[in-house]
Structure 1
Amino acid sequence: MLQNIVIGQYVPVSSPLHRLDSRAKLLCLLALAGIVFLANEFWSYSALLTTVAAFVLLSRVPLKFFLKGLLPVFILVIFTFLLHAFFTNEGQVLFTILGFSIYSGGIEQGAFIAVRIGALVVFASLLTLTTTPIDLTDGFEYFLRPFKRFGLPAHEMSLMMSISIRLIPTLLLEADRILKAQAARGADFTKGSLKTRLETMTAFIIPLFVRSFKRAEDMATAMDARGYRGGEGRTKLRVLQWRFQDAIACVVVIGVGVVLALLRDG
């Protein structure tokens, strides 16, 4: 399951979202991260879900691949929903199960929180799925550039953030391989006391840290061998260009925010 995580991966297809400037996508993601919290009733959440579906379709990422990759996140979303459903005592009692009274307010609040979390994860996933690592680095660097006057190394920071995002699926795949390898050697992470489980987890955590540091060292060596010396004096093969479609995308996101604000209850 870990190897199917989509956050941090890039899918090279031709779509309207792929053709957008990385700066526009970063701005839209930042705006959408706040817009999702404007929804607070049925119709506004319906509009939010419609927006999520529209962005997924516009990305042209295979739906099967997308859903398979978000399965671990959906498990977290379902857990959040159940947590609110069982422990929120608002509204009318709908039914009782295992000694817990399920209230209408708990179901409603759990569903709304689950939609918010799911929407945020989908929007964040679409950023990496539709943006190349180079464009993502350039986008981060553009917004960090004003802070260079305060001594912030904008290029190095943006490169670090981009590499960190891209290494998420790699590290998860590495973790999955280590888990399977240790299980084949007889390690059981699900049985025994808490102390026993913690001791067993060291057989997973230590190799993961070792492999992570080894990968980071190899990457640093490769960059040094290619003459990387930071952002000073570097030129770009591809220069980011803000086009009309990028402005339209930002206007559409603002329009979504206005719609959700108008539909907002109270």
Structure 2
Amino acid sequence: MISLTSPVKTRAHGWPAGGKLLALCVVSVVLFAVPDLMFQFAAAMSVVLLYALPGRVFLRHGLRRIWPLWPFVVVLLVWHVFTDAWAEGVVIALRMLTAVALANLVTMTTSLQAMMDVVSWLLRPFARFGVNVRAIELAAAMVIRFTPVLGEKGTALALAWRARSRRPAGWRVIVPFMVLALDDAGHVSEALRARGGIEMDKKS
């Protein structure tokens, strides 16, 4: 597993995780509430500026994480052009890219432990009703950790296929990708079981 935190330290690294997550929620609501094209374009350019301020390395590192969205953007734009609603398609694409880029910016400048501390604080009241808070925290942490790992493995499978065939990989890598994901899940479950699992947290 790898960390999502950027190797380039910025001022935002020292900001409270709760404040950054709250700001992300507020900005996301505003993005989805305003359908204006120029507003969405200005918001997207503002995010690009935020990525560029810490330097070229930070900008390249951040854009590399957003790049996997390009197939969704292409399909979205082609569909809206086909339905003669290209302006709406551009708005949706810009909104999606901006929201994901902002979320990525938060993860790049916030440690996983800091984010889990916020999740733990939010879930603490539910522990009184018998909710296994530790299980939810662990699930959230694993999703955040494993998403880029699975993305990299999917890219490696596609590259391996491309090196052996002129045909596009397409659906052919789905089965081996699922096998890799299940194999990783098996290893993680064994590691958790060897450490006592999460049942012990229900008694604490």
State if a TM-score over 0.5 links the two structures: yes
Cα pair 1:15 1:59 within 8 Å, conserved: yes
Deviations 1:210-243 (A, max 9, x none): 4222331354156449x9953876xxxxxxxxxx
Cα pair 2:17 2:114 within 8 Å, conserved: yes
| Equivalent residue, structure 2, for 1:215 | 187
Deviations 1:64-118 (A, max 9, x none): 2222322221332233122112213xxxxxxxxxxxxxxxxx2321211111111
Cα pair 2:37 2:87 within 8 Å, conserved: no
User: Structure 1 residue aligned with 2:176, among 197, 200, 204?
Assistant: 204
RMSD, aligned CA? 3.4
| Equivalent residue, structure 2, for 1:32 | 27
Higher relative contact order (CA 8 A, sep 6+): 1
| Equivalent residue, structure 2, for 1:87 | 83
User: Structure 1 residue aligned with 2:105, among 126, 143, 152?
Assistant: 126
How far apart are 1:11 and its partner, in Å?
0.9
**Per the alignment, in what secondary structure is the counterpart of residue 117 of structure 2?**
helix
Aligned length: 202
Question: Structure 1 residues 174 and 50, CA, compared in 2 at 3 Å: closer, same or farther?
Answer: closer
> Please, which runs of 5 or more residues in structure 1 have no aligned partner?
1-5, 89-105, 192-196, 234-266
Cα pair 1:178 1:208 within 8 Å, conserved: no
Greater radius of gyration (CA): 1
How far apart are 1:141 and its partner, in Å?
0.8
Question: Structure 1 residues 214 and 113, CA, compared in 2 at 3 Å: closer, same or farther?
Answer: same
User: Structure 1 residue aligned with 2:121, among 122, 125, 142?
Assistant: 142
**Between Structure 1 and Structure 2, which shows a larger proportion of helix residues?**
2
| Equivalent residue, structure 2, for 1:160 | 139
Query: 2:165 & 2:39 partners in 1: Cα distance?
Result: 48
TM-score normalised to structure 1 length: 0.63
Query: 2:128 & 2:135 partners in 1: Cα distance?
Result: 15
**Per the alignment, in what secondary structure is the counterpart of residue 152 of structure 1?**
coil
TM-score normalised to structure 2 length: 0.79
Aligned AA for 2:150?
Answer: L
Cα pair 1:26 1:127 within 8 Å, conserved: yes
Question: Structure 1 residues 114 and 34, CA, compared in 2 at 3 Å: closer, same or farther?
Answer: same
| Equivalent residue, structure 2, for 1:92 | none
